[in-house]
Amino acid sequence: MDEDTYTRLRERSAEIAKAIYAAAGSQRMTPSEACYSVAQNVAARLYLINVYLGSLPPYWIEPDVGDLCHSLLKDLLGITTPPKGLSGSLLFRHLGRFSQPSSGANPPDLETSLLKFFRAQHTTAQKLMSTCDELLAKLARDDAENDAQEVPQSALKKLNCGADMSEYFNGGVFDALQLISKCNPKFHKNVVGDPWHPARLCLDETEVGIRVLVSPTTETGDWQEFCVRTQPESLGDEYLPLPEQGGFCDILEKQITARVSLSFIKGRGFTIVGEAQQPQQILPAGREESLATVLRKYDLKPKDKVLLASAVARAYWQYYDSDMMRTRWTSDTIWFIPEEKGGAQRDQLPLCAYLSFPFGSSDGSSKDIFLDLFLTHRYPRILDVGVLLLEIGLGEKCPTGNKRDLVAQLNTNHMIATKTLERLEKATWDGFLNKKVFDRAVKFCLDGKNFIKAPKKPKTSRLGPANPPKPMTVEEQKKGVIERRRIFFQHVVQPLAWLAREGFKAQPGLITYVSEKRPEPQLGPTDPAQQPDGECLFHAEIVPKMWLEDIKKISASVERKRRAQRIKDPVRVAILDTGLNTDLPIFEKKPSLKHAVKDCIDFVDGASAMTDTFGHGTLMARIVMECAPGAEILVARVARNSKELKTSRENIRKAILWAGQPGKADIIFTSFGVSREDEGGIGEAIEAVERERGEDIIFFASAGNSDTDDESFPACHASVVAVYATDKHGVPLSSNAAAPGQKACVLGTYGEPPDSLRAEFATTPYPGICEAGSSIATAAMAGIGAAMLAYAAVLPSLEERPCNHVLKRLRTSRGMEELLFRLAPEAKAHPWLRAVKPPVFWKNKPNDSIRHCVFIDALSDVERLYPRRPRGPAKKI
């Protein structure tokens, strides 16, 4: 990768991300806007790209990653609305104006351009986010076998996660706060019960000191904000010492609506320093909600979960050995406070966590270490924070056991948390790329072996322990606490802080907001969402002329399931035809179509750039792309036009070998045919590929478009699925080839192009190419086959069945043909042809479980009746 692109992309990514966050921070873009979420996600990804690139020298970056960086760089330039007519090298000269490091505030024109872009071009913004995801996946080496997603160590070393507050609190601060928070009867005569004013410690990072809230009562008034400065103050003549008991009472009674700064000095206690400032928020007392409630009621996005988990983990480390641990930190003891009605975000909850000061309470905390031979996790305090992070990641409270014995209770909770972790690891978080970092932090806490081994087990005999373990000395306990905190900081606090700061650009004192979950709609008994798989695609009457749109619905549903289950292996379809023209308007309108084309080869002219002067190959590709939008496309140009096909046998033979061997296609299809006498080695090529692939290759071919001719070649080959054409209702077209007598029944599918496809090609150089026939049917069948392969790959993840192994037979021509017959209802009017209609099948088999049974039933027959032939080397032909 050239250093110029590397440097510019780093600088540009950071600059644009910074401008997006600045727009959000200045309220120029608010959470209520539809573009807000996408913009924030793009910013997070750009910051991560900047961090990853910063941890790698340019010469380490592989060529394919470099190409993607180059592409993203051009995309980022487009956001800033460059002058019209800018292209080529001029584009990069224009980029230079924006790629210099920023000094001071973001340029107003950049921020304005970004706002305009995200508000007006939602689809393009989504594509930009996808490009960022693709680049991050490569930078993070997120492949199918090893997607550990290690955080760059160079990035962790730069993080400042705050100061250790345990020593500060233990040095008299907690006791002094407890004393001045105690109510003075002089100000509050009717004090009943707890003599302390309610006080809350803010767990979020602040710019200066510690944020503390105190209120007159738990039910009325507003919380008074104090800032406890942790750095020693040089006190001048003007400072106000607070009286010991009841030091807060006078301020609380006045309801001053200001933030007061305090400083603690040993021997003097707390003093008020500096001038009062405006409070960050006005928070009414008596309206707190626990973390458990927030997880249940509010919609936490990946960013919210990361920021909250990072704040909790950092605070836990800071106060790990302080009096703030007198009470256990759980989702029932961490609180959130809504703002005063009428605030800027009155319909949302500030995602700012607080912990109650345990004034006057005895020590009810979890022990740092519990030396019991029967414990599965000997560090209860670490286990507690692991469960907290697990709950935040899942967005729900984790169940607990109910045992009388403490050891049994701890072991039960540990077991439940470990099992629940599996759910967290399977969750996708809307495709959040670095979720593995979060998962690993939680998993680290739940494994007690990560935190210093306990003393050796005592020697035992049949009568019990021979030498009971010696109690730990005070010095040993202190050393153990220090070491556990160090490990927790390194493996939990730092990685989460990296996610929050580098990924979502968390800033001290910047509060984010979350909205309540939308209520579930009240569904009637006929509502499609009440169907067993939650997405009845064809609850209404199927419209035959919309067959292509209906197949697209099925494919979209399959792709959603694949993403949810993290099924990444693509399905590859090879098209042997007249080439591909990607200069048509549809490819400019939908850039993802170009991205689907993974490889091309021209066996006609040997040109490096793919072309299509006839249009037929382009039509075939468009049909496959519509039927199976998740498929990867391979294109082999074997003829200039249909008339040349009879003289292109050698090209066809080479194309089959190319697609089936180095191309690794799952499906190869041809929409043409020749006579068996003219096959010229095509059959040998099919057999060679099938033998080398162990039958794991599917061939489709057009049966032909002449009712006076027999089934053409290669459709009549034993390893090829012949495809006949039907109209939109499934009635055979009159132009079909004559069905061979040895076949009791043949397969057909939609051969009439829908109006949308006709309209698309009407304005191309090939307006007459889009005509009904077996070519369209063959392309549609290949697309349907690709969608079924993708669906079969995800079925085992949706439902565990002992016969799931037979689903692999769908990757063979015989297995695919058998399944397609199950997708084709019988028709009395034409018993010799079965029309494949996926929408009808999806409607009649309305959930994954039923369809799963059909797949297994069909493929079990193939497995039983047609054992696989042994895989062998390809013969040279």
Q: Which tokens in the block code for residue 575?
A: 């098209």
Instruction: Return the closest-CA partner of residue 546 out of 751, 844, 756.
Output: 756
Establish whether 775 is a catalytic residue. Answer: yes
Bridge partners (DSSP) of residue 833 are 746
* Backbone phi and psi for residue 168, each to the nearest 5 degrees, phi listed first: -65, -45
Report whether 308 contacts 497 (CB < 8 A): no
Q: Which tokens in the block code for residue 417?
A: 């948390």
Catalytic residue among 414, 616, 717, 852: 616
DSSP output for 20-58: HHHHHHTTSS-TTSTTHHHHHHHHHHHHHHHHHHHTS-G
The CA distance from 162 to 357, in Å, is 20
DSSP 74: H
Establish whether 616 is a catalytic residue. Answer: yes
Establish whether 577 is a catalytic residue. Answer: yes
Q: Which tokens in the block code for residue 606?
A: 């040997």
Cα(first)–Cα(last) distance of the chain, in Å?
Answer: 40
The CA distance from 689 to 658, in Å, is 9
DSSP 245: T
As a whole number of angstroms, the longest Cα–Cα distance in the chain is: 111
Three-state DSSP class for residue 726: strand
Q: From its phi and psi, is residue 361 left (phi > 0), alpha (psi between -120 and 50) or beta?
A: beta
Map tokens 């160079």 to a residue.
154
Three-state DSSP class for residue 229: strand
DSSP output for 407-459: HHHHHHHHHHHHHHHHHHHH--GGG-TTHHHHHHHHHHHH-GGGS-PPSPPPP
Catalytic residue among 166, 775, 813, 848: 775
Instruction: Return the closest-CA partner of residue 596 out of 786, 723, 812, 813.
Output: 786
Q: Exposure of 41 by Cβ count < 10 A (0-12 exposed, 13-18 middle, 19+ buried)? A: buried
Report whether 717 contacts 743 (CB < 8 A): no
Catalytic residue among 304, 550, 577, 710: 577
Q: Find the angle CA(203)-CA(207)-CA(208) to the nearest 5 degrees.
A: 90
The CA distance from 816 to 809, in Å, is 8
Report whether 199 contacts 228 (CB < 8 A): no
Map tokens 């002058």 to a residue.
83
Peptide bond into 714 cis (omega under 30): yes
The CA distance from 370 to 373, in Å, is 9
Catalytic residues, which ones?
Answer: 577, 616, 775
